[in-house]
Amino acid sequence: MARIKVHELRGKPKAELLNQLNDLKAELALLRVAKVTGGAPNKLSKIKVVRAIRKRLTAYQASLKTEREQKRERYFPMRKYAIKV
């Protein structure tokens, strides 16, 4: 996988960034499985590259919630309790 520069990420639209992020997450999951099952060394070294690319996202992009997090917050909102003094 080629290294990705920050200026390349900033020029992409939001939908494309989200697609790329999902692809990277899926690839990282496969690499983790390869690590546990004793995969090839070149696959294991690729984990570092994928993690670095994910960390290069801007603060706004990193703060975006995944679809799963949004559903969880929608269906299980923070509960409010009244405290008797």
CB atoms under 10 Å from CB of 53, counted, come to 19
Tell me what pLDDT residue 44 has.
Answer: 67
- Quote the tokens at residue 77: 């909102």
User: Residue 45 sits in which domain range?
Assistant: 6-75
State the chain's mean pLDDT as an integer.
Answer: 78
The answer to whether residue 17 is domain-embedded is yes
Kindly indicate the confidence band of residue 1, based on its pLDDT and cuts at 50, 70 and 90. Answer: low
Q: At what angle do helices 41-55 and 14-36 cross, to 10 degrees?
A: 150
Q: In which band, very low, low, confident or very high, does the pLDDT at 71 lie, cut at 50, 70 and 90?
A: very high
- Average pLDDT estimate for 73-85: 85
Asked whether the predicted pLDDT for residue 43 surpasses 70, the reply is no
Report the number of distinct structural domains present in the chain: 1
Q: Is 57 among the domain residues?
A: yes
> In the structure, what pLDDT confidence band is assigned to residue 63 with cuts at 50, 70 and 90?
confident
Q: How far is 52 from 85, CA to CA, in rounded Å?
A: 50
**Is residue 83, in this structure, part of any structural domain at all?**
no
